[in-house]
């Protein structure tokens, strides 16, 4: 299987070289690496000239448009996404590519580790323990990190492009559309180094709130919740919980309190441990606000 790696980047010259190097260092080499420069004003282009990659340059239009541009020119059978500030474990594609021989395995995601940091050691006789990602679980909470994803190109094209109206959850929206018609699976091995980059909490909270609401509205329109009232309530309750958390982190106490109350009204029952980090997290957040 030929894998096309797509790396969108915007003013990430300090990081993107590491991302490209990690893709080139794969024990299962990719078919091609496509870097889409989304209007960078730093020295990104100069730093990338040394690598055997395809470089696309465009006016700044956002990460969704950049990824779509990469998909449009990709010639591989599968697409692997890698953000400019993340890296891959050298054996990532070695583990993921064979999984497409499994029935109904059209998209795979992996575990991740904090980057910069130590690269996890993986035993040679490691047993792959693949877990199905069910749509009913994914509609409640995004369980997929973008830089871990490997997906069949034809499945991706059938699901449609990244939605440029979304700024933040555009990846989550696409995984949901894929999961409605294809098989998704999770490989727990930590094969992707994820870097936390701080941005404007105030601005991001509002953008993410709008984006996640649009995603749920799209799911409603697609009939995903038809005949599933409890799943609808659970999903909207989690949406409000996520908004409460983001607004709390941004210092918006009023917005956080409002969303916390709405979360309990929508879904007063406890969430599973797979959905929330702390079983009483919603209550603690409400009391904090």
User: Which stretch of 141-150, 236-245, 257-266, 280-289 has the lowest confidence by average pLDDT?
Assistant: 280-289
Distance, in Å, from the CA atom of 53 to the CA atom of 42, rounded to the nearest integer, reads 19
- Tell me which residue of 45, 21, 22, 33 sits closest to 92, measured CA to CA: 22
Whole-number pLDDT of residue 198:
62
Looking at CATH, the fold of the domain delimited by 3-194 is given as Spore Coat Polysaccharide Biosynthesis Protein SpsA; Chain A (3.90.550)
- Tell me which residue of 87, 111, 68 sits closest to 16, measured CA to CA: 87
Q: Is the pLDDT of residue 71 over 80?
A: yes
Please write the tens of the pLDDT for every residue from 25-47. 999 999 999 999 999 999 999 99
Question: Do 266 and 237 touch, CB atoms closer than 8 A?
Answer: yes
| Pairing between β-strand 54-58 and β-strand 32-38 as defined by DSSP bridges | parallel
Whole-number pLDDT of residue 202:
56
Q: Is the dihedral of CA 144, 149, 152, 153 positive or negative?
A: positive
Segments of the chain assigned to CATH 3.90.550.10: 3-194
């Amino acid at each position: 299987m030929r894998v096309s790696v797509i790396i969108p980047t915007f003013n990430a010259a300090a990081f993107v070289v590491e991302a490209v190097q990690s893709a080139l260092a794969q024990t299962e080499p990719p078919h091609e690496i496509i870097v889409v420069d989304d209007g960078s004003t730093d020295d990104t282009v100069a730093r990338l000239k040394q690598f055997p990659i395809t470089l696309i340059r465009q006016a700044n239009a956002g990460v969704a448009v950049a990824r779509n541009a990469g998909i449009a020119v990709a010639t591989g059978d599968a697409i692997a996404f890698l953000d400019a500030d993340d890296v891959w474990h050298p054996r990532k594609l070695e583990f993921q590519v064979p999984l497409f021989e499994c029935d109904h395995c059209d998209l795979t995601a992996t575990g991740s580790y904090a980057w910069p940091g130590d690269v996890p050691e993986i035993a040679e006789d490691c047993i792959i323990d693949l877990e199905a990602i069910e749509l009913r679980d994914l509609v409640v909470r995004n369980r997929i990190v973008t830089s871990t994803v490997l997906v069949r190109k034809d499945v991706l094209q059938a699901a449609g492009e990244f939605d440029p109206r979304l700024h933040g959850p555009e990846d989550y929206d696409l995984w949901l559309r894929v999961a409605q018609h294809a098989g998704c699976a999770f490989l727990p091995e930590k094969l992707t180094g994820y870097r936390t980059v701080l941005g404007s909490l105030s601005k991001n909270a509002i953008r993410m709130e709008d984006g996640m609401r649009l995603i749920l509205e799209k799911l409603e329109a697609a009939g995903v919740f038809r005949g599933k009232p409890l799943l609808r309530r659970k999903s909207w309750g989690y949406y409000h919980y996520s908004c409460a958390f983001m607004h709390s982190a941004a210092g918006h106490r009023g917005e956080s309190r409002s969303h916390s109350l709405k979360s309990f009204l929508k879904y007063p029952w406890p969430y599973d441990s797979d959905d929330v980090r702390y079983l009483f997290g919603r209550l603690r957040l409400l009391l904090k606000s």
